[in-house]
Structure 1
Amino acid sequence: MADSICRTLRDGALEGELAPTLTIKDSLASPFGFHLFSHILLQLSSHVMAQKSQSQAIVIVALSRSPSSYTALLNMNGVDIASSNKWIHILDCYTDPLGWKDKTRKSVNVTDPSHQISLATSSYKTVKDVDKLFSVITELGRGLVRENKARFCVAIDSLSELLRHASLQSVASLVSNLRSHDQVSSIFGLLHSDLHEERAAAVLEYMSSMVGSVDPYHHSADGQRGYLENSLPEQNFTKGKFNVRFKRRNGRVRAMCEEFKVEPGGISFTSVSSGDGTAIAGLLPKVQFNLQLSEKERIDRSNVVLPFEHQGNGKPIQIYDGRRSLEESNSEANPISSVKKEDSAMGEIIYFRDSDDEMPDSDEDPDDDLDI
C-alpha cells in the first residue's frame, strides 16, 4: 500500500487535472508520521534521480525539522548531496519562521547556520504570509526544473506548524493553489491531527486525494484489543497501522491498511489480511448524517403501520391470489349466485379467470401481508 502511494505521487497529475495530494495524519498515541513522511520522500527522491517520475525536482518546505536533518537523512540513504542541489531545494521555515532572529543579530553576533548546510536552502521568515509562501515555493520549483512544461513535487513536513501561524482558510487556499498549479506534479504533507479541531483535519482531508492515518498497533490475542488506556503496549513504540483512503476520480473510495515497524535502518511494511475488519472499520469518510439506526429507531420503525398492511382484527386472512381450484371456479360460474360476505354492505367485484392456466394477476401479494 505504501508502494501504491509512492506510485501515485510518482505518476503525478494528468493533463487538466489536479495534482494528487497526500495528507499523513498522526497523533501522540502513534507519533510515527514523520517516519512515513521520510519514507515517501526517500522513495520519490530515488524516482527523481532515476528519471522515472513525472516530477523532475522536489521542494521541501521545512517547518518542523532543520535543513541539516534532511541533509543527514538523504546522505544516510545514499543520496549524493553534491548532485542533489540540481533537483532538490529546501525552503527553511524552521530556523527563523517569524524573522525574530534578524532583530537579535543586529545587536549580537550570531552565526548563520544556513551557510553550513550542503543542500540548496533558502530562508523564509514570514510564515504568516501564506500567499507569499505560495509564490516562493513555485519560484523555487520553476528554478529547479527550468523547462516550462516540467513539473516538481512539493513536500510540507508540518501542516500543523502552518496552522499555528496562519488561519485554516489561508492554509487550505495554499494547498488548493498548489494542487491547481500547472507545474506541480504532486503534494504530500504531515498533520498532527490531535493538535487541531476536527474541522481543520476534515478540511485538509477533503482537499486531499489520499489520506493516511497512523494508528497505534493493537495486539489482539483473544479477539479483544490489547491496547491499555493508561499505558501503551511495548509494540506501540515500534509498530503501528497505516490506514489509507484513496479517492478515485469517479468518486469511489478505496480503503487499505498495512502494519509497519520502525527499525534502525528505516521502516518496513506488512500487509494486513482482508479478514481484519477492525483495521478498515473507521476509514469511511465522515458525513453529516448517521447511516445506522439506533435500537430505539429500529423499534419505532417496526411499530409504523404501513398502508394496506394487515391490522390484526382477529379474523382469518384470506387473500385472493388468482389460483382458486376448479370446484371454486364452477361454484362461481353464475355471478348472480355468488355468496356475498357477511359484513359487506357494499357491492363486490367478482373476477373470472379465462382458464386454469392463466398466470396470477400482477397485483398479487406474494408475501401475504397486504389487505387487498
Structure 2
Amino acid sequence: MLPELLQGIDAGGFLIIQDSASYSGRHLLKSFINSALDREEAVHVLGFEVSEEELKDGLKGSPIQRLHFHNAYTDPLGWTDHPAFTVHQFCLEELTRLVKQTSHPKPATLVIDSLSWILRHLSPPDVCKTLQQFRKGGAVRAIIGLLHADMHQSGTVGSVCHLATSVITVVPVVKGDKAVAKITKRSKSGKVMQDEEIFSIKDDFTVIVQGKPSQHGPKQADPKEQETDPTANLTFNLRLSDTEREAKEKLALPFVFSKEKKTALLHSGPGSGRILYEPDANDDYDQEDPDDDLDV
C-alpha cells in the first residue's frame, strides 16, 4: 500500500505521516515530495522545523524548480518587521494566496512541515477547520503533513487524524535502518483499509518495501500497546497448582445442599410435627372486613 500512496494521492486527499522521537518521518516526507516532483506537480512547503537548504538537501535535478518553500523557519512567530510566513497566517485566505502566487498547469500539493509546530501555537479546532476548508476548496490537489504524535495529547492527534484520508505511522524495527509503516487508508466510499509494511529509504529518497512484518520475525511492540502484568511482583501467589485446584473442586461448600439433604428437607418423615389452627367462638373475624378489629 505504501508504493500506491507514493504514486499519487487522490484529489482532495489528506495524508498524515505520524512519527515519534524513536523514528523521524521527515525522510519519508521528502520521499513524497520527490515523488510529486517526478509527476511534474508543483509542491508548496510550509517549513516550520527545518530550513530551506536542509529540506532541499538530496532533492536535486530540474524538478526542484517546482518546489516552492515558504519560510516559516526563520521567524515563525513574526517577531521581526518583515517575516516571510508566520504561524498566525495559517488560515484559508493566506494559504490560498500562497498557492496562487505561482502558475502551474497541474494542481499543486501542499506539504506542512510540521503540523505539530502549528498545533503548539494554534487551537486544534482552528487548525482542523482550516485544513478541512482548504482541502475541499480545490486550491491544491492534496495535503501532506508531518505530525509528531508524542508531542500532543491523544485527543488532539485523533482529531487531526480523523480528517485525514490516509495515515502512515512509522515505528523503528529492532535492528538496522528499516522501519515499519502502519497504514490506514479511507476510500471515498467509507471503506477503511489497513496494512503494515517494512521499508527502508535510500539516499535519493527512494522507498524500498521489503515485505510484511510477519515475514521478518516478530515485530517490535509499540510501547503504548505493551501491557504490564499486575501480578508480577507480588509477595503471594494468586495462581493455584493442579493439586490445589483438585482439592478446591472436591470441597463441599456449607450452603450448597446435596441431593440427599434436599430430599430429606422436602419430604417429611414419621414423627414430624405440624401446626393446626382452629378458630373458636371468641374470634371475631369478619371475612368481608378482616381489619374491622383494628382501631383505625
Q: Is the contact made by 1:25 and 1:191 (CA closer than 8 Å) also made in structure 2?
A: yes
Q: How far apart in 2 are the matches of 1:89 and 1:30?
A: 26
Q: How far apart in 2 are the matches of 1:272 and 1:145?
A: 41
Q: Is the contact made by 1:260 and 1:268 (CA closer than 8 Å) also made in structure 2?
A: yes
How do residues 193-342 of structure 1 correspond to structure 2 at under 5 angstroms?
193-218=149-174, 234-235=175-176, 238-266=177-205, 267-272=207-212
Q: How far apart in 1 are the matches of 2:3 and 2:208?
A: 11
* Residues 1:99 and 1:271: Cα distance change in structure 2 (over 3 Å): same
1:85-121 Cα offsets, whole Å, 9 max, x none, are xx33211111111122449xxxxxxxxxxxxxxxxxx
Corresponding position of 1:179: 135
Corresponding position of 1:43: 35
How do residues 96-111 of structure 1 correspond to structure 2 at under 5 angstroms?
96-102=75-81
How much has 1:142 moved relative to structure 2? 2.0
**TM superposition score normalised by structure 1:** 0.54
Q: How far apart in 1 are the matches of 2:104 and 2:98?
A: 10
- 1:27 corresponds, among 20, 23, 28, to 20
3-state SS, counterpart of residue 39 of structure 2: helix
Q: Is the contact made by 1:130 and 1:170 (CA closer than 8 Å) also made in structure 2?
A: no
How much has 1:245 moved relative to structure 2? 0.6
3-state SS, counterpart of residue 43 of structure 1: helix
1:303-331 Cα offsets, whole Å, 9 max, x none, are xxxxxxxxxxx9xxxxxxxxxxxxxxxxx
Q: How far apart in 2 are the matches of 1:213 and 1:146?
A: 32
Name the Cα RMSD after superposition: 2.7
Q: Is the contact made by 2:28 and 2:201 (CA closer than 8 Å) also made in structure 1?
A: no
* Residues 1:47 and 1:157: Cα distance change in structure 2 (over 3 Å): same
Q: Is the contact made by 2:167 and 2:184 (CA closer than 8 Å) also made in structure 1?
A: yes
Q: Is the contact made by 1:154 and 1:186 (CA closer than 8 Å) also made in structure 2?
A: yes
Q: Is the contact made by 2:20 and 2:150 (CA closer than 8 Å) also made in structure 1?
A: yes
* Residues 1:273 and 1:26: Cα distance change in structure 2 (over 3 Å): closer
Paired positions, count:
222
Corresponding position of 2:73: 94
How do residues 41-80 of structure 1 correspond to structure 2 at under 5 angstroms?
41-48=33-40, 56-75=41-60, 78-79=61-62
* Residues 1:8 and 1:263: Cα distance change in structure 2 (over 3 Å): closer
Q: Percent identity?
A: 26
Corresponding position of 2:280: none
Q: Is the contact made by 1:57 and 1:141 (CA closer than 8 Å) also made in structure 2?
A: no
**TM superposition score normalised by structure 2:** 0.67
1:144 maps to a residue whose letter is T
Q: How far apart in 2 are the matches of 1:270 and 1:277?
A: 13
Q: Is the contact made by 2:172 and 2:179 (CA closer than 8 Å) also made in structure 1?
A: yes
1:130 matched to 2:90? The reply is yes
1:140 matched to 2:116? The reply is no
3-state SS, counterpart of residue 74 of structure 1: coil
* Residues 1:264 and 1:146: Cα distance change in structure 2 (over 3 Å): closer
2:157 maps to a residue whose letter is A
3-state SS, counterpart of residue 42 of structure 2: strand
How much has 1:164 moved relative to structure 2? 1.4
* Residues 1:275 and 1:255: Cα distance change in structure 2 (over 3 Å): farther
Q: Is the contact made by 2:180 and 2:213 (CA closer than 8 Å) also made in structure 1?
A: no
1:347-369 Cα offsets, whole Å, 9 max, x none, are xxxxxxxxxxxxxxxxxxxxxxx
1:60 maps to a residue whose letter is V
Point out the structure with max Rg over C-alpha: 2
Q: How far apart in 2 are the matches of 1:275 and 1:69?
A: 35
Q: How far apart in 1 are the matches of 2:185 and 2:84?
A: 34
1:28 maps to a residue whose letter is A
